[in-house]
Amino acid sequence: MGALEESTEEERENGNKAPERKEEEREETGAKDMEKDEMGFQEQVIHPDRQADSRLSMLQRLNPSNPLRIVINGGSRVTTPPPPPPPQSQPRFTQTPTPQQSMISLNSSGFTNKITLFLFLVHMVVAIGLVGFLIFKGIQGFLVSENVRRKEKKVLKYFLPQVEAAALLSITLAFTWQKAVRLRPRIMVHFIIWSSFAMSLAAGILLICFQKPATNGVGACLVLFAIGNGLYACWVTQRTGFCSKILIKSLEPVSQFHYLNRPTYLMLGAGFIWMSLWILAVIGALNFYFPPLIIIALVLSLTWTAEVMRNVANLTVSRVIALYYLRGVKSSTQFCFQRALTLNLGSACLGSLFVPSIEALRILARGLNLLEGEDEFMFSCAHCCLDVMQSVFKYGNGWAFVQVAAYGKIFTRASIDTWALFESRGMETLVDSDITSSVCFLSGVCTGSICTIMVAAWTAKVHQGFTATISVLAFFIGYLMTRIAMALPHACVSCYYVCYAENPQNRMFDNTIPTRISKLKSDRGVAVPTPRVPHRFQN
């Protein structure tokens, strides 16, 4: 009988424990379900005191005859009265919010900068219509008028081949620069800075040697630019080491995305096709009213379109790399490219208008602050220019494309937030002294100079009267095509800075930026930042 009673008591105990185990399994399942977020980074935290309350509440719901409700005290069983039930409003467990919960969604579905997007689409409709009309006028003039036919034959024979050759050469050099920068960034930073100086100087001297008024003017501009380029190369010598290091670090994730370069290739292909049609339109404009005004309009249209292409590639790479840094997610390059062409295209259009102006103001401000003298008027102008630059940097900067791509913000909002992040981390001096954008700019200058040398020597042999025009056009095409290709390394560096400013504790970042900031604070001679106000106006 004693054995029977013990077995019956064990079965009763196991039967009463079963609901307890089921309750614990339900709790664990609920906690795991609450841990799942859209990116898989939420955490569920259950405090020990809440666990104790949970067990106590389950114990109170047990049958009074259950052995779990009996306390053994000195071999005698004493039934303890049930404690008062806990308040119904007290939660059984709480969820501690994590930093990711307060972050902005990375899957925004709204279009950014709709007004600019509308203006760009209207501009493209007008540009396509104008290019098609001018090509038609060129064909019509070739078929109808003998004088026009003779004139256009000369243009097609001595003008078109050189320009098309310059476009093909610029694409080849664009791929070469980007591939070389990705493989050998330490060497290429120095090479681009000094080769742009040498090539622009050689192109200027070559054009001056033709002894024509037009070529002399273009050649003199290139020589003056080369002199400024050489001074800049000497000035930033101490920054090239860190620029190479940051390029190496920021390009590390690229190897994990096999198709990251595909948007750049598509933009280069589209740019080559559009430039080929554009060149034919320029030839047709020669037979229409007011050719100079039409050609200027075509040049401005091509500049904006090429910049938008570059920033579409920039936004695509920025989203892929930013999601990798911020969430550890390997995003689809195709999806990011489609997003850049649709939702974020308005910001790309607005940034294409702002960023070149910003870079021009930055170069001008640095040049004015390098001058020494007692001319109060000159330094008053410098002070005014620096105030304008400070405002422009706040409301429009190239770093904003990272937050536009990651969070879907409008361009101006992203610019303000990005610069505020840099200021909160003490990084404004660091990013202001960064020369990555200058390296990308000078790579375009180098390609343009090489294209100029090739077409100038070619045209001087076949038809010297076209030399100046074709040289300027070749430089322009070479520069734009290379800037599109260099969007990838530029976007990677921007993502490295911005994502570090958002989360410096991320394990993907090392001490490269903190070490540099400390070095800049301890030794101002390492890098000369752009001062916001001249020293004489600071008191």
Residue 29 has pLDDT above 50, yes or no: no
- For residues 438-466, average pLDDT: 91
Compute the CA torsion angle 139, 143, 144, 148 (nearest 10 deg).
70
- For residues 301-319, average pLDDT: 95
Helices and strands, number each (H, E), in the chain:
20, 2
Residue 316 has pLDDT above 80, yes or no: yes
Confidence bin at 54 (pLDDT 50/70/90): very low
Name the residue type at position 443.
S
Structure tokens at 259: 């198709």
Structure tokens at 114: 């709709």
Cβ neighbours around 456 below 10 Å, total: 27
Give the three-class secondary structure for 72: strand
Confidence bin at 406 (pLDDT 50/70/90): very high
- For residues 46-56, average pLDDT: 43
With contact defined as beta carbons under 8 Å apart, do 170 and 451 qualify? yes
Q: What's residue 33's pLDDT? A: 40
Window from 44-48, 169-173, 355-359 with minimum mean pLDDT: 44-48
Residue 95 has pLDDT above 70, yes or no: no
Structure tokens at 335: 């999806």
Of 62-66, 202-206, 506-510, 532-536, highest mean pLDDT: 202-206
Window from 281-290, 328-337, 370-379 with minimum mean pLDDT: 370-379
- For residues 344-352, average pLDDT: 93
Q: What's residue 56's pLDDT? A: 43
Q: Which of the pair, 394 or 446, is modelled with greater confidence?
A: 446
**410-447 pLDDT tens trace:** 999 999 999 999 999 989 889 888 899 889 999 999 99
Of 10-19, 187-196, 515-524, highest mean pLDDT: 187-196
- For residues 366-390, average pLDDT: 61
With contact defined as beta carbons under 8 Å apart, do 408 and 345 qualify? no
- For residues 389-402, average pLDDT: 82
- For residues 370-396, average pLDDT: 65
Q: How far apart are CA 351 and CA 418, in angstroms?
A: 14
Q: What's residue 286's pLDDT? A: 77
Confidence bin at 382 (pLDDT 50/70/90): low
Q: Where are the alpha helices (DSSP H) in 41-113?
A: 48-60
Cβ neighbours around 492 below 10 Å, total: 24
Q: Model-level pTM? A: 0.76
Percentage of residues in the chain with pLDDT exceeding 70? 72
Confidence bin at 371 (pLDDT 50/70/90): low
Q: Which of the pair, 368 or 445, is modelled with greater confidence?
A: 445
Q: How far apart are CA 192 and CA 196, in angstroms?
A: 6
Window from 53-57, 452-456, 513-517 with minimum mean pLDDT: 53-57
Q: What's residue 77's pLDDT? A: 43
**386-416 as b/e: b if 16+ CB within 10 A:** beebeebbeebbbbbbbbbbbbbbbbbbbbb
Percentage of residues in the chain with pLDDT exceeding 90? 47
With contact defined as beta carbons under 8 Å apart, do 452 and 471 qualify? yes
Structure tokens at 343: 């939702």
Of 142-151, 248-257, 517-526, highest mean pLDDT: 248-257
Residue 12 has pLDDT above 90, yes or no: no
Q: What's residue 47's pLDDT? A: 40
Q: What's residue 324's pLDDT? A: 93
- For residues 62-77, average pLDDT: 44
Q: What's residue 329's pLDDT? A: 86
Q: What's residue 195's pLDDT? A: 94
Mean of the per-residue pLDDT values for the chain? 78
**512-538 as b/e: b if 16+ CB within 10 A:** bbbebeeebeeeeeebebbebebeeee
Q: Which of the pair, 53 or 332, is modelled with greater confidence?
A: 332
Residue 3 has pLDDT above 60, yes or no: no
Confidence bin at 335 (pLDDT 50/70/90): very high
Q: What's residue 471's pLDDT? A: 93
**The residue to which tokens 């050609």 are assigned:** 295
**196-254 pLDDT tens trace:** 999 999 999 999 999 889 999 999 999 999 999 999 899 888 899 999 999 999 999 99
Q: Which of the pair, 31 or 267, is modelled with greater confidence?
A: 267
β partners of residue 77: 72
**465-512 pLDDT tens trace:** 889 989 999 999 999 999 999 999 999 999 999 999 999 988 889 899
Residue 287 has pLDDT above 70, yes or no: yes
β partners of residue 76: 73
- For residues 47-67, average pLDDT: 45
Give the three-class secondary structure for 41: coil
Confidence bin at 76 (pLDDT 50/70/90): very low
